[in-house]
Amino acid sequence: MAELKCILWDVDGTLADTERDGHRVAFNMAFEEAGLSRQWDVATYGELLAVTGGKERIRFDIDRGGMADMPFEEIAKLHASKTIHYQTLIADGLIPLRPGVRRLLEEAYAAGITLGVSTTTTPAALDALIEHSLGKEWFDRFAVLAAGDIVPAKKPAPDIYLYAIDKLGVSAAETIALEDSSNGWKSVRDANMKCIITINDYTADHDFTGADLVVSELGEADRDAINLLQNPHALDIHHVELKHLQAIMHG
């Protein structure tokens, strides 16, 4: 029975609903700016989310005939342009945090829990979200920001989580991760960590068998109770609190 010492957060779809109204829109802006006719609608981007990483999604769409072929340098340039557009969307306040995220972060920070980020999104995109949606003080409050290509194998490989706990000097047994997708869940599972899933429109039908808790959102005290989709620890929850994460660790 381990004590909870560390909470690692995924970003896209977990901290904020960034995929549909953030990254997808920014990709389309970059495509248009580059003179490409390709646009990813909501359903198409949902398909592309099965591939982890923005440059990898462009390559996948090319390989399946959705876009004309281009060298990696052009893919990287497109992705860099997309990142700039994404940062602008965030700075304009168009991508708020999901319900309960700030509350749980602040509760855990006040309790002295080590907090970190483990994401495949780019460092620049992560920095923009932290600055404009959380606040600049969180650059210091997060003990590690593991993002982008810092590890060679992206989710569903466990590398980004293993990198984070190595940097923090904590064990997997002392860590719980928050994710939103099946790729994220597999990454956490193979890193031998406990995992809470907050689903979104794109991930509601993913297989989260084995996760420690699957909920519609983290929720707020003054709102209706969240939906408990998988609750193997039989927790009594209106909204997810630090005590629930601690109970999962002790379960």
Q: Distance of CA 34 to CAs 31, 37, 85, 246, 249, Å?
A: 5, 9, 13, 49, 49
First to last CA, the chain: 7
Which has the closest alpha carbon to 117: 2, 8, 239, 245?
Answer: 8
Other beta carbons less than 10 A from residue 231's beta carbon: 13
Does the annotation count 10 as an active-site position? yes
CB of 89 closer than 8 Å to CB of 26: yes
Which is the catalytic residue, given 10, 61, 159, 180? 10
Instruction: Look at the block and give the residue holding tokens 């003990």.
Output: 143
Which is the catalytic residue, given 12, 17, 61, 180? 12
> CA 67 to CA 122: how far, in whole Å?
23
Could you give the residue numbers annotated as active site?
Answer: 10, 12
